[in-house]
């Protein structure tokens, strides 16, 4: 990293000197301050993918003409274009005094490096998006555009929305999904102030970052300032140039913002570029409106890193792994490093812009249009910190990848060339289509999985407001809610309702019979009661009532036993001898005889069959004891009495049946618990499913945006390429290819198509 800094610094110095030599005043300070937002956008762009707001805002700009909602609004956009034209004019006719800000050159890149951490600026990023797109101050901005971005920075910081740095720092893995939850939204509002502070802090870091980025550009320019060796124009008519070089040239030629007093144009540096005389209109036509007129020069290298990462992502199928890569890839992970263009690699040395040179400083230096800039390139964050890494890894990964092939299928190339613009059709149309197809496929998958497509679409439509929970609630079965809905009042309501119903018929008799029945009570009563209460909290009333029935050792609880009302189910295995006697004995008085007989009959009915049998068999102890006593005590009890075989047999049967009864109750309870647990599990799984689907949609959107970004970048780069005559290359005849050595080659399309097909086969084979 240190070497990189040094390299960049030297490059910056060289470039600055070079510019000064050609009479261009470089107001780096202005550049840094005014262009920081874009820079930060580039640097932190990926993280922006996690911000729901960005998605939301971007959706409005996805038409292809969108302006970065965060830092640049439409007004800025056009204003910048106008300024660009002016700057260009200045470039030609005005030779300002050479003025190099030494302080900038010597600026310590350390700070910039630290500031390059993606997490630092996200808040501002997303916030700016909100502000610019939806904020009411657009009008104000309109007039402010020329003031530079420094003010915007503050504004952005001030507007900084919630999501911000905190989220990005800790929730990279969660990605946008985290925003799904209402919590995050609430958090957003709560963190506004915090974001403001963060924004201020980030502002400090930007200059460093900008300096670094600028340094790289300058460095490159320093190199490119030198004449590029022609790379065999003949032969295959293959003209190679370093992609980095192209990008750097682009950036170098790119005006440094509205405030930039430096209309640097590479053409002015290299005489080989005749494009300067070329009418800008032609180039404009070639470029998508989206791309035109971006006054913000960004870190081209990083942009291309993004691009490469996107390419890789495209190569990979849109699957969950994508998301992982997007959000989990650590700054230094192999993936990201592989895609770093290795600015310091000597590859550039061999590149020749002689044959394929960048066009003059056109107004179209919108390589990083605001919209593109705003695109949430998840991968870029990981790429940012990347120093010039070894190009070998990159080569191994990409091999000789035909950019065109990656961007658009061969079959689409031809049509695109014919239909799209006069000379520069949209080479990435296919890519976009692919993105759409991927999304559709995923949607289909979601449908297959039972996910409502309408909901899926809603997810996209209502991305920011949507949450997995809400979605889940929308389609979550009522069965889930019903139990829980009643759960809140289950413990109380169930007991009250059950008691009310039971009291009607059984309350009077229960007191007597149940006191006996209590003896039958199950050993697990206390335990089950607690459990039942817990379950009641969960909301399963049937279970509760059931348990109530099961646990009635305490006669006081009998009031809440609903089964008493309709039960014929008399669980009174044992009746106190006194009760039995009273029931059996003739009443002393005839007056009470009727009532007592009724009571006795009722009690008889309340007695279980075993109790009846026990009473019939004159069993000297209660069924409760028979059933619940431990074996030893039970045997001891039996030994105390002289019992006949019939009695003993009955006692054993009573014990067996009693235990079995409790076992059956427990069994049923367990069964119910199992069902309830399964129900809850299903609910949880459904919730998770909905959440994952939403995340998937987010990833898809992010991917689509990144693809659009790639398309824009490709168009931008390709559109700036000029042949020896200063004319742009025809997309129908040429395509950019990423060579194995890290350079970018301009090759005939036929060759590119062939290579693209070859590239396509490999993954297919790999799948098999």
- How big is the CA angle at 718 (ends 713 and 720), to the nearest 5 degrees? 100
The C-alpha atoms of residue 352 and residue 153 are separated, in whole angstroms, by 38
Q: Which of 142, 324, 533, 653 contacts DNA by CB under 7 A?
A: 653
| Residue 632 structure tokens | 């030893």
Closest to DNA by CB, 65 vs 602, is 602
* Total chain residues near DNA (CB under 7 A): 34
Residue nearer to DNA on the CB measure, 566 or 593 = 566
Furthest C-alpha separation in the chain: 132
Nearer to DNA, 318 or 619 (CB): 619
Interface stretch with DNA, choices 148-156, 481-489, 636-644, 652-660 (CB under 7 A)? 652-660
Rounded to the nearest whole angstrom, what is the least distance from the CB of residue 621 to DNA in the complex?
15
Minimum distance of DNA from residue 553's CB (angstroms): 14
Report yes or no: 39 and 373 within 8 Å, Cβ to Cβ. Answer: no
Which span sits near DNA by CB under 7 A: 268-276, 286-294, 656-664, 690-698?
Answer: 656-664
Name the residue with tokens 């449908």.
447
Interface residue with DNA among 415, 660, 677, 750 (CB under 7 A) is: 660
Piece of 134-142, 176-184, 487-495, 650-658 that binds DNA (CB under 7 A): 650-658
Q: Calculate ∠ Cα 520-521-526, nearest 5°.
A: 165
Partnered with residue 744 across adjacent β-strands are 241, 738
Write down the least CB distance from residue 606 to DNA, Å.
Answer: 10
Smallest separation (angstroms) from DNA to the CB of 660: 5
In angstroms, how far is CA 623 from the centroid of its own chain?
A: 64
Could you tell me the smallest distance in angstroms from the CB atom of residue 495 to DNA?
14
Residue 721, strand partner residues = 358
User: Hey, which residues between 617 and 646 contact DNA (CB under 7 A)?
Assistant: 630-631, 634
Q: Give which of 282, 283, 371, 382 is closest to 328, Cα–Cα.
A: 382
**Residue number with CB closer to DNA (321 or 644):** 644
Determine contact, residues 189/476, Cβ cutoff 8 Å. no
Q: Which is nearer to DNA, 218 or 520 (CB)?
A: 520
Are residues 68 and 41 in contact, defined by beta-carbon separation less than 8 angstroms? yes
Q: How far is the CB of 637 from DNA (least distance, A)?
A: 12
Identified binder of DNA from the candidate list 230, 567, 617, 751, rule CB under 7 A = 567
To the nearest whole angstrom, how small is the minimum distance from the Cβ of residue 663 to DNA?
Answer: 4
Phi, psi of 607 (to 5 degrees): -70, 145
Q: How far is the CB of 642 from DNA (least distance, A)?
A: 19
Residue 656 in contact with DNA, rule: CB under 7 A: yes
Smaller CB separation from DNA, 411 or 660: 660
Shortest reach from residue 630's CB to DNA, in Å: 6
- Cα–Cα dist 722/427, whole Å: 17
In the list 569, 593, 598, 758, the residue contacting DNA (rule: CB under 7 A) is 569
Q: Which is nearer to DNA, 663 or 678 (CB)?
A: 663
Give me the DSSP letters along 700-734: HHHHHHHHHHHHHHHHHHHHHEE-TTSPBPPTTTE
| CB-based contact 706:377 (threshold 8 Å) | yes
Report, in Å, the least distance between residue 471 CB and DNA. Answer: 31
Q: How many CA atoms lie within 13 A of 677 on its CB side?
A: 6
Of 178-186, 362-370, 377-385, 660-668, the window that binds DNA (rule: CB under 7 A) is: 660-668
Q: Which of 56, 239, 661, 709 binds DNA (CB under 7 A)?
A: 661
User: Which CB, 88 or 657, lies closer to DNA?
Assistant: 657
Q: Which of 40, 45, 44 is nearest to 706 (CA)?
A: 45
**Least distance in angstroms from the C-beta of 607 to DNA:** 10
SS3 assignment, position 7? helix
The residues, any chain, with a CB within 8 Å of residue 324's CB and separated by 6 or more, are none
- Minimum CB–partner distance for residue 707 and DNA (Å): 54
User: Which positions from 17 to 46 touch DNA by CB under 7 A, shown as an x/- string?
Assistant: ------------------------------
CA pair distance 24, 31, nearest whole angstrom: 14
State how far the Cα of 533 lies from the Cα of 460, in Å rounded to an integer. Answer: 42
Q: Which of 36, 449, 392 is CA-nearest to residue 206?
A: 36
| CA pair distance 78, 283, nearest whole angstrom | 17
Per CB under 7 A, which of residues 493..552 are in contact with DNA?
A: 505, 542, 545-546, 549
User: Minimal distance in Å, beta carbon 658 to DNA?
Assistant: 6
Q: Which of 436, 667, 675, 685 binds DNA (CB under 7 A)?
A: 667
Nearer to DNA, 392 or 489 (CB): 489
DSSP SS3 for 260: coil
Q: Enumerate residues 671-730 that contact DNA by CB under 7 A.
A: 671
Mask: binding to DNA, 582-621, rule CB under 7 A, as x and -?
Answer: --------------------------xxx-----------
603 Cβ partners below 8 Å, 6+ apart? 509, 512, 513, 572, 575, 579, 583
470/541 with CB nearer DNA? 541
CA distances from 619 to 466, 527, 575, 624, 653 (A): 70, 30, 11, 12, 12
Burial class (CB in 10 A: 0-12, 13-18, 19+), 569: exposed
CB of 339 or CB of 634, closer to DNA: 634
Nearer to DNA, 461 or 633 (CB): 633
Angle at 377 between CA 208 and CA 381, to 5 degrees: 40
Q: Which parts of this chain interact with DNA (CB under 7 A)?
A: 505, 542, 545-546, 549, 563, 565-569, 571, 608-610, 630-631, 634, 653, 655-661, 663-668, 670-671
């Amino acid at each position: 990293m240190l070497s990189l800094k040094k390299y960049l610094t030297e490059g910056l110095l060289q470039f600055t000197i070079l510019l000064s030599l050609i009479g261009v005043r470089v107001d780096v300070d202005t550049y840094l301050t005014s262009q920081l937002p874009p820079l930060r956008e580039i640097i932190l762009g990926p993280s922006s993918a996690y911000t729901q707001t960005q998605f939301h805002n971007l959706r409005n700009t996805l038409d292809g003409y969108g302006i970065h909602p965060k830092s640049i609004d439409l007004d800025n956009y056009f204003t910048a274009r106008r300024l660009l034209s002016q700057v260009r004019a200045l470039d030609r006719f005005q030779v300002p005094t050479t003025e190099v800000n030494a302080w900038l050159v010597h600026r310590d890149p350390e700070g910039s490096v630290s500031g390059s951490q993606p997490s630092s600026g996200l808040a501002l990023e997303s916030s700016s998006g909100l502000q610019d797109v939806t904020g009411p101050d657009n009008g104000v901005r309109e007039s402010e555009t020329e003031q530079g971005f420094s003010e915007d920075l503050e504004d952005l910081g001030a507007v900084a929305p919630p999501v911000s740095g905190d989220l990005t720092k800790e929730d990279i893995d969660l990605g946008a999904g985290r925003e799904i939850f209402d919590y995050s939204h609430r958090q957003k509002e709560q963190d506004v102030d915090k974001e403001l502070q963060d924004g201020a802090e980030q502002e400090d870091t930007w200059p460093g970052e900008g300096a670094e980025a600028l340094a790289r550009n300058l460095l490159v320019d320093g190199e490119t300032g030198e004449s590029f060796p022609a790379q065999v124009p003949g032969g295959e008519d293959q003209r190679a140039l370093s992609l980095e070089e192209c990008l750097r040239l682009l950036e170098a030629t790119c005006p440094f913002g509205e405030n930039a007093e430096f209309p640097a144009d590479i053409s002015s540096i290299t005489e080989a570029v005749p494009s300067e005389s070329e009418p800008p209109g032609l180039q404009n036509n070639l470029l998508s409106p989206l791309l035109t007129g971006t006054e913000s020069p960004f870190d081209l290298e990083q942009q291309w890193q993004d691009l490469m990462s996107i390419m890789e992502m495209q190569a990979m199928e849109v699957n969950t792994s994508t998301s992982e890569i997007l959000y989990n890839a650590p700054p230094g992970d192999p993936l990201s490093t592989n895609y770093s263009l290795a600015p310091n690699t000597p590859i550039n040395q061999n590149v020749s812009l002689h044959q394929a040179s960048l066009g003059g400083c056109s107004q179209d230096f919108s390589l990083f249009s605001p919209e593109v800039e705003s695109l949430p390139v998840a991968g870029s964050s990981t790429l940012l910190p990347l120093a010039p890494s070894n190009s070998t890894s990159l080569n191994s990964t990409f091999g000789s990848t035909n950019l065109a092939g990656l961007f658009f299928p061969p079959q689409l190339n031809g049509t695109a060339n014919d239909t799209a613009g006069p000379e520069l059709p949209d080479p990435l149309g296919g890519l976009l289509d692919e993105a759409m197809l991927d999304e559709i496929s995923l949607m289909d998958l979601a449908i297959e999985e039972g996910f409502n497509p309408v909901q899926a679409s809603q997810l996209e439509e209502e991305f920011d407001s949507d949450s997995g929970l809400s979605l889940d609630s929308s389609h979550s079965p009522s069965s889930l809610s019903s139990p829980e809905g009643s759960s809140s009042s289950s413990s109380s309501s169930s007991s009250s309702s059950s008691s009310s119903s039971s009291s009607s018929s059984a309350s009077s008799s229960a007191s007597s019979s149940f006191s006996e029945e209590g003896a039958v009570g199950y050993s697990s009563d206390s335990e089950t009661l607690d459990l039942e209460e817990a379950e009641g909290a969960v909301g399963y009333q049937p279970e509760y009532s059931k348990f109530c029935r099961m646990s009635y050792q305490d006669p006081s609880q009998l009031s809440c036993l609903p089964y008493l009302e309709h039960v014929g189910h008399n669980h009174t295995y044992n009746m106190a001898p006194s009760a039995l006697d009273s029931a059996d004995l003739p009443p002393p008085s005839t007056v009470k005889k009727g009532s007592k007989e009724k009571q006795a009959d009722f009690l008889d009915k309340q007695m279980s069959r075993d109790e009846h049998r026990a009473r019939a068999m004159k069993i000297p102890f209660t069924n409760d004891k028979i059933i619940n006593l431990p074996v030893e005590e039970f045997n001891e009890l039996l030994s105390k009495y002289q019992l006949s075989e019939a009695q003993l047999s009955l006692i054993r049967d009573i014990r067996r049946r009693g235990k079995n009864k409790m076992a059956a109750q427990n069994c049923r309870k367990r069964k119910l618990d199992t069902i309830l647990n399964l129900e809850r599990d299903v609910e949880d799984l459904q919730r998770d499913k909905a959440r994952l689907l939403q995340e998937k949609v987010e990833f898809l959107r992010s991917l689509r945006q990144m693809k659009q970004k790639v398309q824009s970048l490709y168009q931008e780069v390709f559109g700036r390429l000029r042949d020896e005559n200063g004319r742009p290359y025809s997309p129908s005849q040429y395509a950019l290819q990423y060579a194995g050595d890290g350079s970018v080659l301009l090759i005939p399309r036929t060759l590119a198509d062939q290579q693209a097909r070859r590239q396509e086969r490999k993954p297919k084979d790999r799948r098999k």
